[in-house]
């Protein structure tokens, strides 16, 4: 249990560091007007946006950890009784071609430190694995501000958006393609994204890019394209 908790802490720390570095880079460059992301996002109650992408490029590959088949293995750290702490280790399916991603962003009227927040539903069709699903959220900040009793600094969103799954579920960044109705989706190789397999959610996986710098282009699509995501979420 201690090893599992340590892994969660490490993953959460990686998410914070990744997001912080991304925010610094973003703040260093002024956004181009035709690269602003807001126009591609749902901005009112009852609104949603569907995006999709299909891929034939052999370089669009990700590693897939199968956590439903994880086995306990000893670590280098010893417990007080002298026995090694154990940790779950999943088998990894290397360099699996991603055939498609479908993403739905749904406006959520919930209020907090953000100006908007979007629920996300994501499906991935991966060679040798099949269709996997995930759900999370993406907070949106209209401008830089100081928030809360702790005077926390929040950087406004301009060209991109960070989406995540709570706990150690990982996340991804969406960045506007300048001048196009499209977004680039990218993952951190250290944390990837936790997903569920099959229409009934059987199986537990984590997708991680095989190399840093890998992006997937998603274009706006019809609402009908995201119907399978809505059906999955309603189960």
Query: Could you give the number of structural domains in the chain?
Result: 1
Tell me, yes or no, whether 79 lies in a domain: no
Tell me, yes or no, whether 116 lies in a domain: yes
Statement: residue 52 has pLDDT above 70: yes
Integer Cα distance of 170 and 208 in angstroms: 10
Tell me, yes or no, whether 24 lies in a domain: no
Q: Judging by beta carbons within 10 Å of its beta carbon (0-12, 13-18, 19+), is residue 132 exposed, middle or buried?
A: buried
* Residues 10-26 pLDDT 10s: 555 555 555 555 555 55
Statement: residue 129 has pLDDT above 80: yes
Residue 188, domain extent: 32-69+90-233
173 neighbors 162 (Cβ within 8 angstroms): yes
Tell me, yes or no, whether 85 lies in a domain: no
Integer Cα distance of 133 and 166 in angstroms: 15
229 neighbors 102 (Cβ within 8 angstroms): yes
Integer Cα distance of 96 and 63 in angstroms: 6
Statement: residue 227 has pLDDT above 90: yes
Tell me, yes or no, whether 51 lies in a domain: yes
Task: Count CB-CB contacts under 10 A for residue 126.
Answer: 22
Task: Please spell the DSSP secondary structure of 11-46, one letter per residue.
Answer: HHHHHHHHHHHHHHHHHHSPPPGGG-SGGGS--STT
Q: Choose between 111 and 165: higher pLDDT.
A: 165
The pair of three-digit structure tokens given for residue 78, joined into one six-digit string: 């010893």
Least confident range of 22-26, 44-48, 66-70, 190-194? 22-26
pLDDT at 112: 73
* Residues 61-97 pLDDT 10s: 999 999 999 999 999 999 999 899 999 999 999 999 9
The pair of three-digit structure tokens given for residue 176, joined into one six-digit string: 């506007």
Statement: residue 190 has pLDDT above 90: no
pLDDT at 182: 96
Tell me, yes or no, whether 157 lies in a domain: yes
Statement: residue 104 has pLDDT above 90: yes
Integer Cα distance of 7 and 18 in angstroms: 16
Tell me, yes or no, whether 42 lies in a domain: yes
Given pLDDT bands bounded at 50, 70 and 90, which one contains residue 168? confident
Tell me, yes or no, whether 23 lies in a domain: no
Integer Cα distance of 209 and 65 in angstroms: 11
């Amino acid at each position: 249990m201690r090893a599992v908790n340590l892994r969660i802490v490490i993953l959460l720390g990686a998410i914070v560091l990744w997001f912080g570095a991304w925010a610094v880079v973003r703040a260093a460059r002024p956004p181009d007007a035709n690269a602003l992301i807001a126009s591609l996002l749902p901005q009112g109650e009852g609104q949603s946006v569907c995006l999709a992408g299909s891929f034939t490029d052999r370089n669009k590959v990700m590693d897939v950890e199968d956590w439903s088949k994880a086995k306990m293995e000893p670590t280098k750290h010893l417990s007080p009784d002298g026995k090694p702490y154990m940790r779950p280790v999943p088998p990894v399916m290397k360099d699996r071609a991603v055939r498609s991603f479908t993403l739905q962003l749904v406006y959520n009227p919930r209020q907090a430190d953000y100006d908007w927040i979007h629920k996300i539903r994501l499906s991935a069709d991966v060679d040798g694995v099949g269709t996997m699903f995930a759900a999370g959220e993406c907070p949106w900040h209209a401008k830089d501000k100081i928030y809360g009793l702790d005077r926390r600094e929040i950087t406004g969103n301009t060209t991109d958006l960070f989406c995540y799954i709570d706990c150690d579920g990982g996340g991804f960044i969406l960045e506007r393609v300048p001048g196009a109705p499209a977004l680039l989706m990218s993952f951190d190789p250290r944390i990837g994204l936790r997903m569920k397999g099959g229409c009934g959610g059987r199986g537990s996986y984590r997708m991680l890019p095989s190399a840093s710098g890998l992006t997937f282009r998603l274009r706006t699509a019809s609402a009908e394209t995201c119907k399978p995501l809505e059906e999955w979420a309603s189960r």
